[in-house]
Every structure is written in C-alpha cells, then in structure tokens.
Amino acid sequence: MALIVQKYGGTSVGTTERIKNVASKVCASREAGNDVVVVVSAMSGETNRLIGLAKDVNPKTPARELDVLLSTGEQVTIALLTMALEQLGCPARCYTGAQVRILTDSAHSKARIQDIDAEVIGNDLKQGRVVVVAGFQGVDETGAITTLGRGGSDTTAVALAAALGADECQIFTDVDGVYTTDPRVVSKARRLERITFEEMLEMASLGSKVLQIRAVEFAGKYKVPLRVLSSFKEGPGTLITFEDDDMEEPLISGIAFSRDEAKLTVLGCPDKPGIAWSILGPISEANIEVDMIVQNISNDGLTDFTFTVHRNDYDRALEILERTAKDMGAREVYGDTKIIKLSLVGVGMRSHAGVASLMFRSLADEGINIQMISTSEIKISVVVDEKYLELGVRALHTAFDLDDENGTATVEGS
C-alpha cells in the first residue's frame, strides 16, 4: 500500500462540479489501494475576493488579521470536498492548518513551515479515512493563524509528504505538466517528460507559476518524489527528479519569465566600503527580498546602485530607499515598474559555452535592449522593458530550438 499526497489548486476546485470531480479522482486512488492525503487551495477567485473585501474596509490591512481572513478560503474547500467524498462512500475527515498543527514562523503572509505534527493525520489514515487538509496556512507558536503566500498550498502538500514519508506527492493543476515555457505565450511550447529539481527550482524562482519555489526546495531537501499532473485530463505529467548520469541533458530545458518585477536605482551615492549594506540593509530588515543587483564603477568617488524587487514591494521599498538615500547624501532615487525578467534554464549550460552570446544576439536581432544581467551555473536572466515580453520569449524559444522536439540548439563554442 502506497501513501500518496495529492494537491489540487484553485482552478481544480473552482466549482462544486469540479470539487465532485476531484472527489472521484481521490476515491479512485484510494480504491486502487493507496492511503491518500489531499491538500486543497481556495476556490479560484476566492482569495482575490477576500483581499478586495479587506481593502474596502481598510486599505492598509493589518497583516495578522488579513491572514485570519484569507485562511477561510481553504476552509470552505476542505469542508465541501470532504462532503463530496462522503457522498461517494469514501470516509474522510478535514482539517485546517492549525488543527493538524502546521507550525510556522510569525511572518504573516510569507510564513515558513517549521514543523508538522503528523500524528492526527496518521491516526485517521490507520482508520481508513482520506484526510483533507487546508493548504496555504498554518499557525505560529502563539496560536496566530499564518499564511504561506501565493502558491503556498504546494508547499503544504510537499511538507506533509515529507513529514508523512509519502511515496509520491502529486500536484494536480490546470496544466498537464511543466512546459518549456508558457504555452499561452508560445504555442509551440512542449511538455517536459521530466526535469531536475535544480532546474525546477530555478524555473520556479524565475517566474514559472507551475510550482512554488518553497515546494520545490522542500521536495529536493527531503527527497520527496514530485509529479505535476492535470486535474482535467489523464496523462503522465512531468516528473521532477534528481539529475543522474543517464539523463540526457538538453542545453536549455525552459524559458521562465516574471511580470512581477520592479527596479530601483540610487544615483550618486558615496562609493565607500559598506555602501551596499547601507542601501540593502534597511530593505532586508523590512522583509523585502532583493533579486538582481548592479553597482556601477566609481566616478569621482560616487557610484550608482540598482536592484530589483517584487512589484508588490515596490512602494514600500521606494519609501525606505528615499530615506536611506537622503541620509547618505545621494543625488537621486528613481524607480521603474514597467520591466520584466526573462530567464534561460538548463543543466546543459554546465558543459556548453556560448549560451549567453546566443541569448544576447537573439534579443538584439529583435531590437530588445538589455537593462540588467544575472547568471548562475544553470541560468541566465535579463531585465528588459515589459513591452518586449512575448517577443523576447518567442525569439529565445526559437533560437534555442525548443520549438523542435529534440531541443538541441547549436551555440558558439559547443
């Protein structure tokens, strides 16, 4: 008998009919001899509706109370799914994150899971029940409800799979796997049979919406077999696995992009030791994550410093940066929210030169100016004007032969 953790996203449980469909899938897995734990998101659109209600009442919503409000979305879903399972003769019991003691830190709206008490779930499984758990939420050591951020139900599912020692964690969503890029942008995008944890981690961190980055981190750290599947059609999905010597290593596995970028620049700040910390320290203390960073060469003892943040954090980061810049005597601060990030990801980069030059040439041929560049062993990211998103992704998808089933681009030096 296998223990399977299944996660269903908001689209998969978006209506009562879809909830009934999920119940049928869960029952089928149980009837096949598996123990099943199900993690669900709020019904599609529900979280946005709740956020709208909060902003109508108070535009500067207290984070603690917002978490209390948003956690109710998943509570609705777990109750409805459990009712549907019982209707099919499949014994089930549902729990909120607090009830199964998903312990997190106290960073409201961005909480991180610290521990899970698997005893309650284990007892129900022994009694033959399907256990339905609310994703996206937990509780801190004071008993306050916390949420894990957008896509947090993925993290809940993988964390539960790790805590329970599950045989597989299956992420059911509205797509049938991980693609070379978003098929809505590139019609020739292909589903990948499998992808390494390392590549998936990069894809998730760089804007791919299929899985949340913390879910991939959990799965990789605790060696949880992870598979992305469709809620609406049968198929093998995409297996996320560890790299091994027998795996074929395509040069580029995928192209990720993020629309949620904003850029901040400090002009004419003193070029002295500690300047980077002076600028970024207050940003970090405000729990704002910084992504790409560029510091120009010093000129007459002054330098320019540019970095990117999530667009949702832009206003707060700008406010902090203006105070910091004034204190250090910098000349000017300005920002730009009309940018996007394009990224190439592939373990094959390790053994091939010329990837960057082909990327830059392909964008230049389309008249796309690169504003910032960041690289790692298996990825290259660039920041460009947001109007070039679709053109840039399509150009790179073609340049690296991802339109082709074989995906074997020839680059200079390879």
pLDDT tens digits, one per residue of 326-351: 999 999 999 999 999 999 999 888 87
**Maximum Cα–Cα distance across the chain:** 77
Examine the pLDDT at 244 and tell me if it is beyond 70.
no
Q: Residue 227: pLDDT above 80?
A: yes
Q: Residue 22 pLDDT > 90, yes or no?
A: yes
Q: What is the pLDDT of residues 286-330, one digit of tens each?
A: 999 999 999 887 778 899 999 999 999 999 999 999 999 999 999
The pLDDT value given to residue 409? 40
Which segment of 138-147, 222-231, 257-266, 275-284 scores lowest on mean pLDDT? 222-231
Q: Is the pLDDT of residue 413 over 70?
A: no
**Alpha-carbon dihedral angle through residues 408, 225, 230, 198, given to the nearest 10 degrees:** -40
- Residue 178 CA to residue 345 CA, distance in Å, equals 13
Provide the annotated binding site: 7-10, 47, 74, 173-174, 179, 184, 209-210
Residue-level pLDDT at 218: 84
Per-residue model confidence (pLDDT) at position 248: 53
Which residues participate in the annotated binding site for substrate? 47, 74
Q: Picking from 36-50, 234-248, 261-275, which range would have the lowest pLDDT averaged per residue?
A: 234-248
What is the CB-side half-sphere exposure of residue 254 using CA atoms within 13 A?
30
Q: How far apart, in Å, are the Cα atoms of 46 and each of 14, 78, 79, 88?
A: 9, 14, 15, 26
* Residue ranges covered by each domain of the chain: 3-174
- Would you say residue 208 has pLDDT above 50? yes
Q: In what order do the strands lie in the sheet with 92-95?
A: 92-95, 130-134, 35-40, 3-8, 168-173, 226-230, 238-241, 194-196
| Residue 377, Cβ density class (10 Å: 0-12 exposed, 13-18 middle, ≥19 buried) | exposed
Average pLDDT of the segment spanning 213-220: 84
pLDDT, greater one: 219 or 315? 315
Domain 3-174 has CATH 3.40.1160.10: yes
Annotated binding-site residues for ATP read: 7-10, 173-174, 179, 184, 209-210
Structure tokens that stand for 397 in this block: 């998808």
Share of the chain above pLDDT 70, in %: 95
Question: Has residue 410 got a pLDDT over 60?
Answer: no
pLDDT in tens, 139-178: 999 999 999 987 799 999 999 999 999 999 999 988 889 9
Q: What is the mean pLDDT of the chain?
A: 90
CB 8 within 8 A of CB 154: no
For residue 132, give the nearest of 2, 23, 17 by alpha carbon: 23
Q: Do 106 and 118 meet the contact criterion of CB atoms below 8 Å apart?
A: no
Cβ proximity of 237 and 177 under 8 Å: yes
Q: What percent of the chain has pLDDT over 90?
A: 72
> What is the token pair recorded at 264?
């901040």
Q: What is the pLDDT of residue 102?
A: 96
CA angle (113, 308, 385) in 5-degree steps: 125
